[in-house]
């Protein structure tokens, strides 16, 4: 990618530095942040610079995207231990631990992301993949780690009733994590019929089309307590007796946060996992009067990545339905176009060896 233009080209195989391995990419997922990188690159750069003081990439330099992957070791670089032999399939926390850390998927041809045939990884971060786990399922560890982090941020209790607004890949992954942890009943909302069907398949108990049914009213029906011990926090202004509410905003477009503040029950926890790349606004007075807890969630820790991978490996997380298409590298530009239509795909997996 260069300045919002996506092309497939040829580049030299990268050379591993100290403590690094060269790997062959077996499978890679297309992430929503890859779409943002392509269509809102300047906004992403400005946000990262202002928030963290980092330059993710240069708009004028080529970027090889892709940070959700399964790969195979083909060469050990200098000063490596060689603990995992050549031919070992691996997952990995997507960072190169150099003096200046490289965020995989935002580097150039020298440090490419997973939309390449070969890439570099830090040996110390590698996780071996068991034989029974397919390459494409391994590539889901990263988005599941994002969802796991969002659920962890919400600190749900056993009586919380979660509501997921937006059933794109992250919303669907949040549903899968909630279901695995036995939290619920889970209410999910999306305009897309295909994504509503996936939400149901991945564990949502009630799925609604917001054009026809208010997800907040559906939530209230399920949040009626059967035991006084289940009643969540109340205020004098809002004494409604309901189970606690945890709302996951997984849409990321302007106006959604205000919609949640307006319609959600008082004292709700709102976890914003949708990455909105445009200016947005909401009424703080609404959140203050209803004593909302508003929190934002970004990425995950190395420990959460390993935990998500462990749940996949053990079979606790069954998320195969997330994958809706499989393509080769030369099909990438068309796949990015397809992902703009929520009824066509949820998660597209790229197989660089596919011709």
The fraction of the chain above a pLDDT of 70, given in percent, is 98
What's the confidence (pLDDT) of residue 341? 82
Residue 185 lies in a domain: yes
- Which CATH number goes with the domain that contains 325? 3.90.180.10
What's the confidence (pLDDT) of residue 170? 96
Domain shared by 346 and 290, yes or no: no
Residue 14 lies in a domain: no
What's the confidence (pLDDT) of residue 353? 87
Domain shared by 27 and 47, yes or no: yes
Residue 2 lies in a domain: no
The answer for 3, left when phi > 0, alpha when psi is -120 to 50, beta otherwise, is left
Average pLDDT for the chain: 93
**Alpha-carbon gap, residue 181 to 151, rounded angstroms:** 10
The answer to whether residue 14 scores a pLDDT higher than 80 is yes
Domain shared by 253 and 124, yes or no: no
pLDDT tens digits, residue range 260-273? 999 999 999 999 99
> Is the Cβ–Cβ distance between 148 and 307 less than 8 Å?
yes
What's the confidence (pLDDT) of residue 336? 85
The answer to whether residue 46 scores a pLDDT higher than 80 is no
Domain shared by 28 and 133, yes or no: yes
What's the confidence (pLDDT) of residue 185? 97
Of residues 6 and 51, more confidence is placed in 6
Cα distances from 177 to residues 35, 174, 247, 308, in angstroms, run 24, 5, 14, 9
- Which CATH number goes with the domain that contains 168? 3.40.50.720
Residue 136 lies in a domain: yes
Please tell me the pTM assigned to this model. Answer: 0.94
Residue 45 lies in a domain: yes
**Residue range(s) defining the domain that contains residue 86:** 20-140+319-350
The answer to whether residue 5 scores a pLDDT higher than 90 is no
Q: How many domains, in total, are found in the chain?
A: 2
Domain shared by 200 and 336, yes or no: no
The answer to whether residue 179 scores a pLDDT higher than 70 is yes
Domain shared by 132 and 169, yes or no: no
Q: Taking the alpha carbons of 151, 157, 163, 167 in that order, is the dihedral positive or negative?
A: positive
Domain shared by 159 and 291, yes or no: yes
Domain shared by 190 and 242, yes or no: yes
Domain shared by 149 and 131, yes or no: no
Domain shared by 158 and 240, yes or no: yes
Residue 68 lies in a domain: yes
3: confidence class by pLDDT, cuts 50, 70, 90: low
Domain shared by 224 and 245, yes or no: yes
Residue 38 lies in a domain: yes
**Alpha-carbon gap, residue 73 to 125, rounded angstroms:** 13
Residue 303 lies in a domain: no
Domain shared by 162 and 35, yes or no: no
> Lowest-confidence range among 40-54, 107-121, 171-185?
40-54
């Amino acid at each position: 990618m260069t300045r919002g233009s996506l092309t497939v080209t040829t580049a030299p195989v990268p050379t591993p530095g100290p403590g690094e391995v060269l790997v062959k990419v077996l499978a890679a997922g297309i992430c929503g942040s890859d779409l943002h990188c392509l269509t809102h690159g300047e906004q992403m750069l400005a946000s990262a610079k202002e928030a963290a003081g980092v330059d993710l990439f240069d708009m004028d330099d080529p970027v090889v995207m892709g940070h959700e992957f399964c790969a195979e070791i083909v060469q050990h670089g200098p000063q490596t231990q060689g603990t995992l032999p050549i031919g070992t399939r691996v997952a990995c926390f997507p960072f190169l631990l150099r003096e200046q850390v490289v965020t995989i998927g935002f580097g150039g041809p020298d440090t490419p992301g997973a939309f390449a045939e070969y890439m570099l990884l830090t040996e110390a971060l590698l996780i071996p993949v068991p034989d029974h786990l397919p390459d494409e399922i391994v590539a889901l560890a990263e988005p599941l780690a994002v969802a796991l982090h969002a659920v962890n941020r919400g600190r749900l209790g056993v009586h919380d009733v979660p509501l997921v607004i937006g059933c794109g890949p992250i919303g669907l992954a949040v549903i899968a994590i909630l279901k695995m942890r036995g939290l619920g009943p889970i209410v999910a909302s999306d305009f897309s019929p295909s994504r509503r069907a996936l939400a149901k398949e991945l564990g949502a108990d009630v799925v609604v089309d917001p054009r026809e049914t208010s997800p907040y009213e559906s939530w209230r029906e399920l949040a009626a307590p059967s035991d006084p011990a289940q009643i969540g926090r109340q205020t004098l202004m809002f004494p409604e007796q309901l189970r606690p509410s945890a709302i996951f905003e997984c849409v990321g477009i302007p106006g959604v946060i205000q919609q949640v503040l307006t319609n959600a029950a008082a004292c709700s926890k709102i976890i914003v996992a949708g990455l909105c790349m445009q200016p947005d606004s909401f009424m703080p007075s609404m959140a203050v009067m209803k004593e909302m807890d508003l929190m934002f969630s970004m990425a995950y820790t190395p420990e959460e990545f390993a935990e998500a991978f462990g749940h996949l490996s053990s079979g606790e997380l069954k998320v195969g339905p997330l994958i809706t298409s499989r393509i080769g590298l030369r099909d990438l530009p068309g796949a990015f176009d397809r992902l703009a239509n929520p009824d066509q795909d949820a998660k597209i997996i790229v197989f660089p060896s596919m011709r």
